[in-house]
Chain A
Amino acid sequence: MSAVPVPAPATRAWAVAGLLGAAALAALPFFANPYLVATGLTLLMWLALTQSWCLLSKLTGYVSLGHVVFYGLGAYLVVVTWQSWPLPLAIAAAGALAALFAALIGLPVLRVRGPYFVILTFGIAELVKYSILAAEAASGTASRILFGAPDLIVIYFAMFALAAAATLLLVVVGRSRFGHGLRSLRENEEAAETLGVPVVRYKLLAFVLSAAIPGMVGAVMALRSTYFVVGQVFDPMISVTAIAMALLGGGDDTRGPILGTLFLFIVSEVLWIRAPLAYMLILGAVLAGFVLVAPGGILGLLDSRRARGASGA
């Protein structure tokens, strides 16, 4: 068994660090002030979105630029069913709606690869955004206010659960036979299919799995803002930020999203407080620097000793 070189995606040290981080985040609301709790909530939101994005895009190589569509649909469902559906049901339904939408568009969308897939996912997200904008305008509701949203601490723990679920899902999928099939089709789809991987079914399942949690994240975040604007919950920057975090982190397991989310999150918090005007400039420079100097992301820098070749190229 020791002859089998398993490239141990999560060594014991990583697992311990992850559990300590999770414990710290779970304890945060009990001693921190509301500002810090709200900051922690944002961090958890990005973690949940980035892990979910990686399940599709890092494992299969199909880069989605439209993941915000699932977030937006989830948020919209909660807003539309506000005070008529019990909240837990609405949040679960938001996940189901996002998954269903992914299943419906998945078969045609996943037939195209590379830049075409990127542009198509972006276009679909924009299409849904403008359709809902039009529907809202037609019904005369330019914006909506949610009265009686739950406390911050409730929202925080709901998001904590979603971030933990997204992380666990990527761990389980990444280590499974299904995950190995996804990596194989990422590396060469025709070869994978010829070796027995049911690529059509696998891609669709990855797409659906990567959509469900973002749908619920959107639902929970709708409660946080209490004030609903379509353009905000379908903002393409949400997709782009999750991608930036995933790329900064590197790799195709859960460590990359964790490192990338933490890094970008801390950098943006620090910059935003100290240098609000230069914020976007410096952020852009950091991202460009990573792409040029360390295309493998933070994990690539850490693992450079292992020189695992051109998988991220």
Chain B
Amino acid sequence: MNDADSAPLLEVRDLGKRFGGLTALSGVSFSVAAGETVGIMGANGAGKTTLFSLIAGNARPSAGTIAFAGGRIDGLSPDRICRLGIARTFQIVKPFPGLTVLENLRTAAMFGRAGLRDRREADAAAMAVLEEVGMAALASAPAATLTLAGQKRLEVARAIATGARLVLLDEVMAGLTATEVAQMLDTLRRVRDARRLTLIVIEHVMQALMKLCARIVVLHHGERIAEGTPEAIGNDPRVLSVYFGTAA
């Protein structure tokens, strides 16, 4: 409808969030172009997950605006934002434990941007996603029986099954073994390319972030302190001082 080439897919302007007296985010601005993969870096409490909650609608911003595909989305409910094409994963996984893996994805395919109201169509789309992320064999397993790696993978699969254009990945590699991290990275790259997804990735596994992202935004105490390529971020004196306490 609008020319997606000129306008960024996601545009965050002067975003702020206060919880009572605590300022979780303040004056954060950045934009993400369609097809880009952007990393979000920052210590614990830097405001990374809060940023995702604001974009996905789980929390309302105290200040600033969020625009997606040309329209304002700040203040909309999470289900509406999902139907517009943004999906997120949860750092502390939130599976539907009593439902099977396939039923978990069915919800996403039925209610997300994909909007497949017919159960058979939704299940077919869900199975396709499960095959892409290597979980097809677990389709009929109750989600409660999955390992942590399995549940992280389920979070990703469910987000993708919504048919989202923009997927927010919140520490989907935290707590995984080196082998599992490598598998997850491989899966994410493959799915991103096949589905032409735009990704925003929060990650503490730095190597993974560097491999996946062309651009990284660094948050510290709720503010954006740096932005650039992984190499530039790795040499940025402010980032180094925040992370290692060196006087550079």
Q: Which residues of A contact B (CB under 8 A)?
A: 1, 3-5, 7, 177, 180-181, 183-184, 186-188, 190-200, 308-312
In the complex, per-residue mask of B197-231: 1 if CB is within 8 Å of any chain A CB, else 0: 00000000000000000000000000000000000
Contact of B117 with A by CB under 8 A: yes
**Beta-carbon nearest neighbor of B99 in chain A:** A187
Chain B residues with Cβ below 8 Å from A198 are 77, 79, 111
Chain B residues with Cβ below 8 Å from A4 are 102, 120, 123-124, 127, 139
How far is B123's CA from A184's CA once the two chains are assembled, in angstroms? 15
Known: A180-B107, A194-B56, A197-B107. A309 touches B79 (CB 8 A): no
Cβ–Cβ contact B90 & A191, under 8 A? yes
Contact of B78 with A by CB under 8 A: yes
Number of contact residues on B: which range applies?
35 or more
Chain B residues with Cβ below 8 Å from A186 are 98
Given contacts A193-B58, A312-B98, 11 further A-B contacts (CB under 8 A): A5-B139, A184-B96, A184-B99, A184-B107, A187-B95, A188-B97, A192-B111, A193-B77, A194-B58, A195-B107, A308-B98
Chain A residues with Cβ below 8 Å from B78 are 190, 193-194
Q: List 27 A-B contacts (CB under 8 A).
A: A4-B120, A5-B100, A177-B111, A177-B117, A180-B107, A181-B111, A188-B94, A188-B97, A190-B78, A191-B90, A193-B78, A193-B79, A194-B57, A194-B58, A194-B87, A196-B83, A196-B107, A196-B113, A196-B162, A197-B79, A198-B111, A308-B142, A309-B142, A309-B145, A310-B98, A310-B144, A311-B142
In the complex, per-residue mask of B92-110: 1 if CB is within 8 Å of any chain A CB, else 0: 0011111110110011101
Cβ–Cβ contact A199 & B79, under 8 A? yes
Contact of B72 with A by CB under 8 A: no
Contact of B119 with A by CB under 8 A: yes
Cβ–Cβ contact A195 & B112, under 8 A? yes
Chain B residues with Cβ below 8 Å from A187 are 95-99
Chain B residues with Cβ below 8 Å from A192 are 96, 107, 111
